[in-house]
Amino acid sequence: MGLPDMARPAEPSSESRLTYTDGSSRTVYATDVEKPFPEGHLIVSRTDLNGIITHANDAFVEMSGWAREELIGAPHHILRHPDMPKIAFKGLWDDIAAGKKWHGYVKNLRKDGAFYWVYATAVPNIRNGVIVGYTSVRRKPSRTRINELVPVYAQWLAEEKAAS
Amino acid sequence: MTLNFLIAPDFAPERFAGWHMLNTTLQRRSGIGLHLLTPVSAHEQAELLSAGKADLVYANPFDATDMIRTQGYIPFARPAKRYDEMVIATGAESGLTHVEDLKPGCRIALTENRDVKLIGLRLLEPADLTEATIQWVPVDSYQAAARLAIKGEVQAAFFLADAYASLTRMSRSQLRVLVESAISDISHVVLAHPRVGENLPAIEKALLGLGQAPGDNEVLDALGLPNGFEAMNQEEAEFMIDLMDTLLD
């Protein structure tokens, strides 16, 4: 079952219709409010093989704006921000499904439409030689790197929209 | 039969007696002879491990990764409510207030503890600092790291959070914390080699039961682990290792 449409935030926001890799879609609203990354923390989550969240630490709950019980069982793309081009995630699923580590700078969407930047790492959970799920850890990113990537992501997004 | 119980060398000197008290208590309650091994360095620990001399290990989390995944050690306990966190501090007079105030080429004092270094490097990423752009100043103790930061000879120093908390009030008053990790998922681990076999349940029971008998608090306080130990299963250890894997680069 797909995620329900977001509620329109009180702050000024832009509306987008996102379509996810599982074929579902929903309307999201993004504001210009940035939530600062909590100093010294890591955001940790685990998913099953289908990207369904099975574990969320306290920092994840706080930063995402969702309650833990809302996150557990939800697809990880619940965090997908409309400013993120698909190509920025290129290789993510291929890499981790092949047993490799993936890194990337990601702008995440909060439940309330605000955003937060992270440096994300995803690794497969390999048990007895078999991948049984994935762990994702997000840490505070370099602001310099984000400032470099914002125009790059915007250009990629424009190219994706022009091609669709 | 006597088993060797190796303690990772990253505990504070004042905890030395506590580990001996623990060893004596575990022997008495399990009925199994235990010989304590307390290597003074990571190098000496590695030699003991490669010689196959460690039956039981109180391992730091990053060493535990290799012991569990490649040497077959079995995790069975960890300190309860006690996580391995680290602190990056600067001299109170340095004028620095945030990690982002540290610039490439800055001097940072650190001890041999590679867990602290690894987590510290991750906390310095927001300042665009990497291992190669820092001038590392190796020191023998956290007290020495504190002295260099206080005197302004380094811009910052790395500390195990427990060690930072153990500095004198005077030292801490002359330092400023730039950031303290709050990971809450990474801890030391108690491991058993598979050859411990049928002796493990008695040792596990004695360790996890600490805190219930009169006098136990004295042992736990001496160890600096007032909440004692809690069970840790293989999957919990694997989860911790996956998490640490993400911090390696």
Q: Do A123 and B123 touch (CB under 8 A)?
A: no
What number is the average pLDDT over the span A75-96?
91
Q: Please identify which residue in the block is written with the tokens 């910052």.
A: B156
What number is the average pLDDT over the span A129-140?
96
Q: Which of B130, B157, B180 is the last residue of a domain?
A: B180
- Look at residue B205 in the predicted model and tell me its pLDDT: 97
Six-digit token string for B79 = 């300190």
Chain A touched by B212 (CB under 8 Å): no
- Look at residue B7 in the predicted model and tell me its pLDDT: 96
Query: Between the CA of residue B217 and those of B21, B24, B83, B87, B232, what are the distances in Å?
Result: 11, 14, 19, 28, 21
Q: Do B125 and A137 touch (CB under 8 A)?
A: no
Per-residue pLDDT 10s for chain B (249 aa) are: 799 999 998 887 788 999 999 999 999 999 999 999 999 988 899 999 999 999 999 999 989 999 999 999 999 999 999 999 999 999 999 999 999 999 999 999 999 888 899 999 999 999 999 999 999 999 999 999 999 999 999 999 999 998 999 899 999 999 999 999 999 889 999 999 999 999 999 999 999 999 999 889 999 999 999 999 999 999 999 999 999 999 998
Assign residue B146 the CATH number of its domain: 3.40.190.10
Q: Do A135 and B246 touch (CB under 8 A)?
A: yes
Chain B touched by A27 (CB under 8 Å): no
Query: Between the CA of residue A87 and those of A91, A139, A155, what are the distances in Å?
Result: 8, 21, 11
**What is the band of A1 on the pLDDT scale with cuts at 50, 70, 90?**
low
Rounded CA separation A30/A62 (Å):
18
Q: How many CB atoms lie within 10 A of CB A55?
A: 16
What number is the average pLDDT over the span A8-18?
95
Q: Among partner residues B179, B184, B243, which is closest to A39 by beta-carbon distance?
A: B179
Q: Let me know whether B166 and B94 are in one domain.
A: yes
pLDDT in tens, A14-44: 999 999 988 899 999 999 999 999 999 999 9
Per DSSP, the three-state class of B176 is strand
Q: Let me know whether B90 and B176 are in one domain.
A: yes
Q: Let me know whether B154 and B92 are in one domain.
A: yes
Chain B touched by A41 (CB under 8 Å): yes
Q: Is A79 exposed, middle or buried (0-12, 13-18, 19+ CB in 10 A)?
A: buried
Tell me the torsion sign for CA atoms B239, B244, B247, B248.
negative
Q: Which of B141, B157, B180 is the last residue of a domain?
A: B180
Amino acid code (one letter) for B3: L
Do the strands B74-79 and B229-231 form a parallel or antiparallel pair, or are they unpaired? antiparallel
Domain ranges of chain A: 36-163
Chain B positions in Cβ-Cβ contact with residue A121 (cut-off 8 Å): 246-247
- Look at residue B94 in the predicted model and tell me its pLDDT: 97
Chain A touched by B167 (CB under 8 Å): no
Q: Which residue does chain B place closest to A125, by CA atoms?
A: B242
Domains held by chain B: number: 2
The closest alpha carbon to B179, from B165, B162, B158, belongs to B158
Q: Do B249 and A103 touch (CB under 8 A)?
A: yes
pLDDT in tens, A88-103: 887 888 889 889 999 9
CA quadruple B191, B196, B200, B202: dihedral, nearest 10: -130
A 84-143: CB under 8 A from B: 101, 103, 119, 121-123, 125, 127, 135-137, 139-143
Amino acid code (one letter) for B168: T
Q: Let me know whether B71 and B92 are in one domain.
A: no
Q: Which domain holds residue B50?
A: 2-82+185-245
Per DSSP, the three-state class of A106 is strand
DSSP element (H, E) containing A134: strand A130-139
Interior/surface letters B42-57, b for 16+ CB within 10 angstroms, e for the rest? beebeeebeeeebbbb
Chain A touched by B92 (CB under 8 Å): no
Chain A touched by B239 (CB under 8 Å): yes
Q: Is B133 exposed, middle or buried (0-12, 13-18, 19+ CB in 10 A)?
A: middle
- Look at residue A58 in the predicted model and tell me its pLDDT: 94
Order of strands, sheet of B135-138, starting from the edge strand that comes earlier in the sequence: B135-138, B107-110, B156-160, B86-91, B175-180
Q: Which residue does chain B place closest to A141, by CA atoms?
A: B126
Q: Do A140 and B125 touch (CB under 8 A)?
A: yes
Suggest the residue from B98, B246, B248 to mutate for an interface test with chain A (most A CBs closer than 10 A): B246
Q: Which of B165, B180, B195 is the last residue of a domain?
A: B180
What number is the average pLDDT over the span A121-128?
95
Range A36-163 has CATH code 3.30.450.20? yes
- Look at residue A22 in the predicted model and tell me its pLDDT: 87
Amino acid code (one letter) for A71: L
Task: Please provide the size of chain B in residues.
Answer: 249
